[in-house]
Chains A and B, each alone.
Chain A
């Protein structure tokens, strides 16, 4: 064995750094490819009422001659036997979530054995407990986590990126951490370095965004917003909830509606469960007054984000297409905003 001198150490160091460096350079050269490769581009939930199905086509799914690649792992195409949207009313939160998802074909339709599932509740601030309806109901999140695990998920991560207070604090104060831990899920504190610059090929206004790595890599994303008031978007629902997975949020506020629709084309919610157990009617999104909270005991579930948001808007007495992001979403062919055209299953538990 050679002597371990400074010279030898430096040689070893130079050799290892050199080899790592060449990979680094390779990574730099091939950045665009790397970015799109890190994203499961084949995870598209087809939607039953696409006005313009091509709008969803990801360039990476196309072969050079333009024909679509057969995706072996794509989620099962929804058959007409399932409703577009299910609404459960008047029960305990977990009961409502279970019956609404069962009406859509059960969690097994969305989560396959061995999947890594990301659940994205709205935990936007660390200020108040769940009663104030600024954050998603903890029992709803807990139920979603449990159901995903029952359906065979390998791992269920729950995350959000609060704008007021730290994530750890918000997870604790909202009560979501406790319920998620009980259900066997994992609360993930989002780290600033893991937002990956990602292109949004179908985006009209938002062409790239720094999106959280865990979300991009997840097999299934379950979007669990709470229905609440927001002065610019008017309501914050599922599409607005996706802002929590991107880095530069203040920049979204200019032409918010279009950018939210753009973001929804890249960050696909495979299942949307809108928590309207308690709705925040005013002073959102932060809340703090119990008088602004209305107990509605309603859960809306749908594989289509625009449909879910449209139905939720009607709970506030708002015409869905009056919300710019729903309007833009419909324009981009993400779904329909017309409640009358949807196949809805209503379940009354109360």
Chain B
């Protein structure tokens, strides 16, 4: 991916190379957005088999991400064929340095674009030692992964990108545009134009009915924090925090091509502030740390005497004080071990909620050690049934997929989540298999159900039930109302043997607020019971 801007053509002027880099950033951000948009419709619209390749294509960015893939392999203890693609990134980094960060990463691109205009005249000095945070975070992620925990992958930049787009940016854009359309619809002569515009964007770009994601502010806040830190230093996130940056930086130390400042440098220092990651430092002479350099080529443009070159020459590895050392490695090991221990032993959570309904085919324990928290299943879920868990899964299950039937039901004809999952944490099922997956069981609250509690006619849950033989039956009862008159009424009952927990009954239940029929998590085949499944019951 990132190799396309060929740097072998040394004849290009520094300025032209810089333009090429910006073009590459623009292009890959476009690709990232295009794949995101495409994935939203492609999978549920084509539920037939044969879309596995499309899944691979949609997930190309994640499969190229070596941090996600390494951690996933460590935790799941299975080698995914798709992970081989990450070797491309590793190879490119060993040759060209952190070009991923400077030329490809969509988050990096956004950070480059956000103007850094500090409200103070002088920016606070960030200690150089902060740079080690990303290395420590990287090691903690990898060690925790080796202990089967993937919780901290929420800090991977690509998963941040997907989650932010899915759960905050896109729904917010949708809401904004819908509000605008509704206002303009009040103006009679604009109705045809708005109507035509609406059919252009829906369902092609936005869903026909507004998407709903819980805690949109949380996802946006996370992203806003990443961006907002730019106020302290340009690309603050990439310099100090990004674990993928740490991964690629550690490799970049050994890269063949790197930034070199020649002996004849006049020490004017122009390059020092121009470097967005502060990789260029001034000691006895000016030098660049290849582990921090994103190959953005800005310095080459800003050097008045053309002393900055990017030769392909292996050099000795220069250890910087902020690089990893034994002490930091031990800190990471300790943190990871204690953290995973606390999570797994249940000291931090009191077991899972009965609302922890996983998407079809996923088993909770397996999911926790395979899911990379990218939220792509949530992106493609056409009904927004798949949300990212915040409380349901305890701290260890933070931002793993959970089905929330009141928001969306698991569509009987859809298997998009399994097709799109880049790491098979949600299995790819055939439509026949998916229709048999039990993700939960429906339970009726007879104190709130209209026919049971109020003798009002209502059969919505039965009507909606997609099971061919209906997992909800209607019991006919002759009842006497409070006024003494007799009435024949149909009252719904769940046939638990048939129910697969798709949740359309809960979703469509006309009760105000919480539904009078609700899905609770159900023990899957082969899933261990015990503490974590406490309270979910068997049937």
Same complex? yes
Interface flag for B61 (CB, 8 Å): no
Kindly state the separation between the CA atoms of A292 and B467 in the bound complex, as whole angstroms.
13
Contact B45 A23 (CB under 8 A): no
Q: Which residue of A lies closest to B177 (CB)?
A: A193
Contact B202 A191 (CB under 8 A): yes
Q: In angstroms, how far is the closest chain B Cβ from the Cβ of A275?
A: 20
Contact B466 A125 (CB under 8 A): yes
Residues of A within 8 Å of B189, CB to CB, are 23
Interface flag for B88 (CB, 8 Å): no
Contact B459 A231 (CB under 8 A): yes
Chain A, range 165-223, C-beta contacts under 8 Å to B: 165-169, 172-173, 188-194, 213
**Per-residue CB proximity of B197-218 to A under 8 Å, as 1/0?**
0110011000011100000000
Residues of B within 8 Å of A20, CB to CB, are 184, 187
Q: Which of A34, A166, A288 contacts B188 (CB 8 A)?
A: A34
Contact A164 B504 (CB under 8 A): yes
Residues of B within 8 Å of A253, CB to CB, are 457-460, 510
Kindly state the separation between the CA atoms of A132 and B470 in the bound complex, as whole angstroms.
15
**Per-residue CB proximity of A210-245 to B under 8 Å, as 1/0?**
000100000000000000001110000000000000
Q: Which of B198, B413, B457, B459 contacts A169 (CB 8 A)?
A: B413
Q: In angstroms, how far is the closest chain B Cβ from the Cβ of A276?
A: 21
Contact B466 A24 (CB under 8 A): no
Kindly state the separation between the CA atoms of A138 and B198 in the bound complex, as whole angstroms.
27
Residues of A within 8 Å of B464, CB to CB, are 163-164, 286
Given A190-B208, A288-B466, A288-B467, do A168 and B458 touch, yes or no (CB 8 Å)? no
Q: In angstroms, how far is the closest chain A Cβ from the Cβ of B525?
A: 23
Kindly state the separation between the CA atoms of A27 and B194 in the bound complex, as whole angstroms.
15
**Per-residue CB proximity of A146-171 to B under 8 Å, as 1/0?**
00000000000000000111111100
Interface flag for B394 (CB, 8 Å): no
Interface flag for B309 (CB, 8 Å): no
Residues of B within 8 Å of A23, CB to CB, are 186-190
Residues of B within 8 Å of A26, CB to CB, are 187
Contact A192 B382 (CB under 8 A): no
Q: In angstroms, how far is the closest chain A Cβ from the Cβ of B344?
A: 39
Q: In angstroms, how far is the closest chain A Cβ from the Cβ of B455?
A: 11
Given A163-B464, A189-B208, A232-B490, do A168 and B203 touch, yes or no (CB 8 Å)? yes
Contact B199 A191 (CB under 8 A): yes
Interchain pairs with CB closer than 8 A, number: 131
Contact A283 B468 (CB under 8 A): yes
Residues of A within 8 Å of B462, CB to CB, are 231
Contact B466 A127 (CB under 8 A): yes
Q: In angstroms, how far is the closest chain B Cβ from the Cβ of A256?
A: 7
Chain A, range 122-137, C-beta contacts under 8 Å to B: 125-127
Given A172-B45, A288-B466, do A193 and B198 touch, yes or no (CB 8 Å)? yes
Range, interface on chain B:
35 or more
Interface flag for B237 (CB, 8 Å): no
Contact A24 B183 (CB under 8 A): yes
Contact A28 B186 (CB under 8 A): yes
Residues of A within 8 Å of B469, CB to CB, are 283, 288-289
Interface flag for A64 (CB, 8 Å): no
Contact B208 A127 (CB under 8 A): no
Given A23-B187, A24-B187, A169-B413, do A254 and B457 touch, yes or no (CB 8 Å)? yes
Residues of A within 8 Å of B383, CB to CB, are 166
Given A254-B456, A256-B457, A287-B468, do A192 and B463 touch, yes or no (CB 8 Å)? no
Q: Which of B182, B191, B382, B470 contacts A283 (CB 8 A)?
A: B470
Residues of A within 8 Å of B210, CB to CB, are 192
Q: In angstroms, how far is the closest chain A Cβ from the Cβ of B89?
A: 36
Given A189-B208, A193-B185, do A169 and B414 touch, yes or no (CB 8 Å)? yes
Chain B, range 401-429, C-beta contacts under 8 Å to A: 409, 411-414
Q: Which residue of A lies closest to B189 (CB)?
A: A23
Kindly state the separation between the CA atoms of A251 and B457 in the bound complex, as whole angstroms.
11
Contact A126 B463 (CB under 8 A): no
Interface flag for A285 (CB, 8 Å): yes
Contact B182 A193 (CB under 8 A): yes
Given A189-B203, A193-B185, A250-B508, do A165 and B412 touch, yes or no (CB 8 Å)? yes
Interface flag for B465 (CB, 8 Å): yes
Kindly state the separation between the CA atoms of A287 and B409 in the bound complex, as whole angstroms.
18
Residues of B within 8 Å of A163, CB to CB, are 464, 508
Interface hub of A125, A191, A288 (most chain B Cβ within 10 A): A191
Residues of B within 8 Å of A192, CB to CB, are 178, 208-210
Given A166-B382, A168-B203, do A232 and B459 touch, yes or no (CB 8 Å)? yes
**Per-residue CB proximity of B77-104 to A under 8 Å, as 1/0?**
0000000000000000000000000000
Chain A, range 1-50, C-beta contacts under 8 Å to B: 20, 23-24, 26-28, 31, 34, 38
Contact A27 B187 (CB under 8 A): yes
Q: Which residue of B lies closest to A34 (CB)?
A: B188
Interface hub of A188, A190, A250 (most chain B Cβ within 10 A): A250
**Per-residue CB proximity of A283-320 to B under 8 Å, as 1/0?**
10111110010000000000000000000000000000
Contact A232 B185 (CB under 8 A): no
Contact B45 A169 (CB under 8 A): yes
Contact B187 A232 (CB under 8 A): no
Kindly state the separation between the CA atoms of A283 and B472 in the bound complex, as whole angstroms.
10
Q: Which residue of A lies closest to B454 (CB)?
A: A254
Q: Which of A27, A190, A191 contacts B186 (CB 8 A)?
A: A27
Q: Which residue of A lies closest to B490 (CB)?
A: A231
Contact A24 B412 (CB under 8 A): no
Kindly state the separation between the CA atoms of A283 and B466 in the bound complex, as whole angstroms.
9
Q: Which residue of B lies closest to A166 (CB)?
A: B382
Contact A286 B465 (CB under 8 A): yes
Contact A191 B208 (CB under 8 A): yes
Kindly state the separation between the CA atoms of A191 and B181 in the bound complex, as whole angstroms.
12
Contact A232 B466 (CB under 8 A): no
Chain A, range 63-113, C-beta contacts under 8 Å to B: none
Interface flag for B474 (CB, 8 Å): yes
Q: In angstroms, how far is the closest chain B Cβ from the Cβ of A92?
A: 28
- Can you list 30 pairs linking A and B with CB atoms under 8 Å apart? A23-B189, A23-B190, A24-B183, A24-B186, A24-B187, A27-B186, A38-B191, A125-B413, A125-B466, A126-B411, A127-B466, A164-B412, A164-B464, A164-B504, A165-B412, A165-B413, A166-B383, A169-B414, A172-B45, A191-B199, A192-B208, A193-B182, A194-B195, A230-B463, A231-B459, A250-B509, A255-B457, A256-B457, A285-B463, A292-B468
List residues of A whose CB falls within 8 A of some B CB. 20, 23-24, 26-28, 31, 34, 38, 125-127, 163-169, 172-173, 188-194, 213, 230-232, 250-251, 253-256, 283, 285-289, 292
List residues of B whose CB falls within 8 A of some A CB. 41, 44-45, 47, 178, 181-191, 195, 198-199, 202-203, 208-210, 382-383, 409, 411-414, 450, 456-460, 462-470, 474, 490, 504, 508-510
The 8 closest A-B pairs by CB, nearest first: A288-B468, A27-B186, A250-B510, A192-B209, A23-B187, A232-B459, A289-B468, A126-B413
Additional 5 contacts, C-beta under 8 A, given A23-B186, A127-B413, A191-B202: A169-B44, A169-B413, A192-B208, A231-B463, A287-B468
